Structure 1
Amino acid sequence: MKNISFIAFLFTLVSCAQTTFAANDNSTKYYAIFDCGSSGTRIYLYQNAHNEPKLIAEEKNNIQLDTHLDTPKITAKNNIRKLIAQIKPMLKQHNIDKKKLQIDILATAGMRYVPTEVQAQYYAQIKQNLLKSGYNVNHARTISGNEEAIYSWISANHLNHILDSQDDTYGIIEVGGASAQIAFATSQESGDNIYKIKTNKQTYNLYNISFLGLGKNRLYSTLTQNNESGICDAKQDSYATCEQAINKIINTYPETSQIKNINGFNETKFYGIDNVYNFKGALADNFSSVNSCKTLNNKDCATNIYIRKLIDTVAPISLTPISKINGTTETWTSGYVYSEINNITITQ
């Protein structure tokens, strides 16, 4: 009887261990990443295809997690109801059993302005509501700007089949709605903003930095708060004043002009992603504030000028604006899933 009880006890231990670590091993077949940004939420659905994240569906909505947080319980319940209503047909279309799905609710720059204690209450409600609906939830949290930059860098290089090889890696310059990120490999082994990325075969020293406030929406909000948004009026000859106001904001982030001094920067080829791609016309050699703003509203006019001024300040030698790499959307979520599948370690 004692032997039978001991065997049963061992079986229970093994079962518990399998349950506890299921989300971290390769038994997870699908990943749904909710990229909750300052201008809405994007849902990315990935399949684990031989330890590579294969993007099989993506959708966007206008749900902003950083609004109506004075009632976190009600807001979380309403938002999750909307998100579940959106992902259900995605799962049905691709014949995905939700038991094989890992969900991560990951917010970016917009939520970084929200007090930590409010975030904690909100995410607890988010997770509770998802679990009640029968979904496997891995994380519900705000990722840091450094994480966003690192995962974007991982995404760009694994999509190019460069990660884990001896080839030179690409850097990324990204402008979102509320923040901007820059990341590239360097020979420097330590220092501010230097992280070690350990993959299966390689260890990279990565310089990465995030500028909270230098996203296109947040920058325009700053202009508005300073009563300067009107100076970027496409109908008025006020471009010089608009440029001065934008330069003034960029200059409050002195690191933007110092990045070029980091080892490896001048040798790196960069991808410009998100709004760097969306406003790629600002990167043209013949760019002119006057000509570029003729058909734009005030906000887009300001964004065009801002993108050009930021890139001129950072001054990469080589920059290619892209939205996809080898046919797949370039987004930090791809790098996040790749890291989950392959147990990549990130340390500072």
Structure 2
Amino acid sequence: MNHHLDDQGLEGLDSDELALRRMLHQAVLDMEPRDGTLDHLRRAVPARRARKRQAAVGMAAAALFIGTAIPAVIHVSAAGGSDANPAIAGQASQSQGGASQGKGPDGGSTGKVGDSSGKTDEQGKESSSEAGQTKGTSSTGASSGSESSSTSAVTAPACTASQLGSTSAGVDVPDAAGTVYGTFRVANVSGTACTVAGAVTLTPTAQGAADATKISVVEHVSGDAAAGLPDPSLYVTQHVLAPGSAYDVKFAWVPSETCPTTSSSGGATGGESSPSPTPTEQDSTAGATTSGVTSQMLTEDGTADGSVVVTYTADDGSTAVSATVSNACAGVIYRTGVVASS
């Protein structure tokens, strides 16, 4: 009885357990470890501990990756409406009310994951629709003129002489600097639309004392001497004329020299003189010149009579309109391109 209590007090085991322990000790009493076992244990135990530490670190890294990846996937899915739905994101969407909550009837994402109001998708669609409409409207408004002209120009044929049957020309009085502005207007008198090109050609013709070698034609650009002409940005390369509509071509005469003046003797100060009429050109009764006008008209003690006729010919090659600039002998003609008539 005392032995039983001693054994139980020594190991905390009862007598049966102690007997089994002694039997096991006796069974392995004669067994010895192989050579090198101790060295193997010395190496294996630290290696096993290192593997356990690596496994623990790997599990921690995986948990950190999953913890950061789930919010990112949910955010991308909600913002971009992507159909990508990994297993983790699927579990997240199930926790929000079922795996099918983030999908529409056609399988597309509705963007409701993580949205308490459930309106993210509708607002996103409305914003996208409004942005598309705004973009389309602005682009159409910005390029409506060019697109309309180019689209109509494809369908509207070139204008013919019978369609451009109404032309007019106007010349203003010289301004303080002596610049004279003029306008050619050409209208479509037919019942169908036609297209005119943007190329413009003006032909000057010197008359009287005007010197053709001192007259030139250039295109108007910003900053030149013809500040009163329309800005070059208003020129059109192709213009569709609706029935009854018109277009303009404007020009400016900027003199570089004044016409020569005459003296009391009838000679011109510029070195030119007006020949006297022949006797046959005299009226025997009145003694005045009746015919044989000289090529250069000179006024007594005044300025030589010189002018420039500016002619614009339309694209059809036969429709032409002219304007005369008086008291013009030398200078530059600045011309615009085709400008829509206001």
Question: How would you bin the TM-score normalised by the shorter chain?
Answer: under 0.3
Q: TM-score, normalised by structure 2?
A: 0.22
Q: TM-score, normalised by structure 1?
A: 0.22
Larger of the two Rg values belongs to structure: 2
